[in-house]
Chain A
Amino acid sequence: MKVLIIEDDVELTDTIQKYLQKENILVESSGTFNSGLEKVSFFNYDCILLDINLPGGTGFDILKYIKELKLKSNVIILSAKDSLDDKLLGLDLGADDYIAKPFHLAELNARIKAVIRRNNHAGQEVINIGNVILDINNRKVVIEDKEIEFYRKEFDILYYFINNLNRLLTKSSIAEYTWGDQYEDSDDMDFVYYQIKNIRKKLKEANANILIKSTYGIGYTMKLA
C-alpha cells in the first residue's frame, strides 16, 4: 500500500511516516504545493493525506486537480483549521474524509484503512479478521456464523481496534474516538473500561480468536489469538 503525505510540517510528516511504516505502508512525502502536484501527476497512491495550507498554494487546488484527472487515489484532508467551511468544501470537492489536527495517529490509521477499503469494495465494507466478520454498513458482527449483538459504542470501539490491530490504543485515544469533541470527563474513562470489559466478554463467549490485551495499564492492544 502506498500513501502520499502533502504537508509542510516536517515533524508531522515524520511521525505519520513512522507510525504508518509499521503497518507495512509505503509512505512518501512532499512539503510544497508544486512538489505535491508533481508527485500526484506521476505516481499512483492508494491514499493521499492532504494539508490545506501549503507553501505555494492551497490543498483544495491539488484536490481539484486529482478529481479532474479522475485519479483513483483516496484523499483525506488534514487541516489545522477546525473550520466547518474547510470540511464542507473539502468533501464537496470530492475528498473521501476529513481529519482535524490534532488527531491520534491510531485514528488516522483507522481512517486511511476505512477509505481504502470502502473504495476497493465499492462501498460494501466487510472486514474479515480471524473468525470475526465485521459488516460496517449494517453494523453487524458475525463470529463463527453467529450474529453477536454489539451496542453502538461497542461496535465503534471494536472497529477502531480492528483497524489498529497490534497497536497500542490508549484509553484517552479510545474515549476521544468514541466521543469526538465531547470527550472531557473522567467518567468517560470509566465508560471506556466498561465497554472494553463488555467487548471482551462478548468475544470470549463467542469463541472469537481475537482478544484485547491490556498494555502497561494505560491502554489496550488487539491481537490475534
Chain B
Amino acid sequence: MKLNQTTLKYTLVSSFAILIIWSVIFYYNLMDEIYDSIDDGLSNFKILIIQECEKDSSALYKLNFDESNYAIREVSKEHAMLITDTFKDTLMYMEYEEDLEPVRMLTTAFYQSDKYYELKVISSMIEKDDLINNLFWSVLILFFILLISLTMINSVVLKAVWRPFYDLLEKLRVYRIENEMKPPEIETNITEFKQLNGSISTLINNSKKSFENQKRFTENAAHELQTPITGIIHRLQLLLDEGSLTEKDANSINNALDSAGRMARLNKDLLLLTKIENFQFKEVEKVDIEQIFRLGVEDLVDFASFKNIEFRFTIEDIFEIEMNRSLSQILVNNLLKNAIVHGDGGKIIEIVIEANRFSVCNQSQGTPLDTYKIFDRFYKGSDSSVHSGLGLTLVKAICDSYLLEINYQYKEGHIFTVSKKI
C-alpha cells in the first residue's frame, strides 16, 4: 500500500468516527435545547392563559383544543391537588398533516373562584425521525465533502512534503555501489529527511568501504596466491626437467603438478568471477555474437572432430550487444566447450542465432541436468570429475551483468538459450 493511500485510509476512518460521535452528541444537545425552548414557551403560555381566565371567565369554558392550543376542564379539589406541572410528549391528530403528530403537552392545575381547573397546553413538536433523517444525510454529505477534500489535500500535501523523500527513493533505486558514485543528496529543510539522508550516506559510505576492501582483498588474495603457486609449479617442472628421475617419482611429481595447475586455474576463475560480479570490465563495444561463435568454433573444431562432433549454424538474424569483447568470448567459448564435453560422439552441436537470442544445443541421450543447480558454483554433473565447476557459473555471471537471461532445457539434448531481457 502506498504512503498516500495509507495516510488517507487512517485520516478517513478517524474523521468518519469523529463525525459519528459528533452527530450523536449534536443530536442530543439539539433536542435538549428544543425541549427547553418549547417547555419555556408552554410555561409562559400557561401563565398568560391563567391571567386571561382571571380577567375573562368565559375563557374557562374550553374543553377541546380545537383551533387553539389549550383546553381547560373543571376537576375536583382532590384531583387538582394531585396534579403537578408535567411536560410530556404525546400524539395528536393534525388536520394539516392528516395524521397523528407528536406534540409537547403541559398539564397543570389552577384555582379560580373556588373552583379547580385542569389546564393542558400544547405546542407542536419537532419530528424526531425527520430530524434524525436530516441529520444523517447532512453528516453523510459532510463526510463525502471531507473525503473529496481530504483526498485532494492529502495528495497535494504529500507531494509537497514528501517530495524530498521520493527524490531520495528514486536516487537510491538507480544507485550502484560498485560505480564510483557519490551517495545521493537531497535538498530539504525537514529534519527527519535530513537525518534519513545522513543515515543513508553513512550506510552507503560504510558499504562502499567494505566493498572496496572486499574487492582489494580478492584481488590481493589472488595476486598473492599466484606467486607461491607459480613457485610450486616451476620447482616441480624443474625437477621433471632434470631427467634423472625414476618413472615412479616422475609420476608423483606430475600428479602434484597437475594439482597445482588445477589450483592455479581455480584461482584464476574465481578472480575472474569476482571481477565480473563486481562489474570491473568497464570497456564495452558492439559485439556481433555470430562472429564470436565463428572464432570459438574455429578454435574448438579440432577438439570437436576428435570427439566426432560437428557444428551447425542456423543464422536467423543478427544478434548484437554492447558488451566487453573478452567476456563475450568467455561466454561463447564456455558454452561451446560445455556442449562438446557433454555431447555424444557422432552428433551435431547446433548454434542458433536470432535477433534477440541465441542458443547452443548438443544432442545427447543423457539425462537432463538439474535446472536449479547447473549455474551454481562447483556444481558437477554425473560424469565429470576434473571440472573446476565454474564454467557455467561464469556464463551466468556474464549474462547477469549484461541484462541477459540464460535458460536451460532438455529436449533430445541439452539446450542453453541466452536471450535479451526486454
Contacts and interface: CB of A to CB of B under 8 A. Distances in A.
B387 interface: yes
Nearest to A104: B237
A125 B20 CA distance: 99
Given A168-B240, A218-B250, A152 B301 contact: yes
A192 to B, nearest CB: 10
- Please tell me the size bucket of the interface on A: 35 or more
Given A80-B223, A172-B258, A216-B245, A185 B229 contact: no
Dominant SS at the B interface? Answer: helix
A157 to B, nearest CB: 10
A34 interface: no
A195 B307 CA distance: 12
A182 B336 CA distance: 11
Contacts of A173: 237
B233 A102 contact: yes
A203 interface: no
Given A152-B298, A191-B303, A219 B254 contact: yes
A84 interface: yes
Contact of A194 (B219, B240, B264, B306): B306
A176 B257 CA distance: 13
Contacts of B113: none
Contacts of B299: 152
B334 interface: yes
Given A102-B264, A216-B250, A84 B281 contact: yes
B254 A101 contact: no
Contacts of A153: 302-303
B251 interface: yes
Interface in A181-217: 181-188, 190-191, 194-195, 215-217
B215 interface: no
Contacts of B227: 9, 11-12, 80, 101
Given A151-B302, A167-B241, A186 B385 contact: yes
Contact of B271 (A82, A151, A168, A191): A82
Interface string B242-279: 01010100110010011001001100100110000000
- Please tell me the size bucket of the interface on B: 35 or more
Contacts of B44: none
Most buried by B among A9, A151, A184: A184
B183 to A, nearest CB: 27
B261 A16 contact: no
Contacts of A11: 227, 231, 234-235
Interface in B274-314: 281, 283, 298-299, 301-303, 306-307
Contacts of A219: 240, 254
Interface in B382-397: 384-388, 391
Contacts of A159: none
A22 to B, nearest CB: 7
B219 A81 contact: yes
Interface of A: 9, 11-12, 15-16, 18-19, 22, 53, 80-82, 84, 100-106, 151-154, 167-168, 170, 172-173, 176, 181-188, 190-191, 194-195, 215-219
6 contacts: A82-B272, A104-B233, A152-B301, A170-B257, A173-B237, A218-B251
Interface of B: 219, 222-223, 226-227, 229-231, 233-235, 237-238, 240-241, 243, 245, 247, 250-251, 254, 257-258, 261, 264-265, 268, 271-272, 281, 283, 298-299, 301-303, 306-307, 326, 330, 333-334, 337, 340-341, 384-388, 391
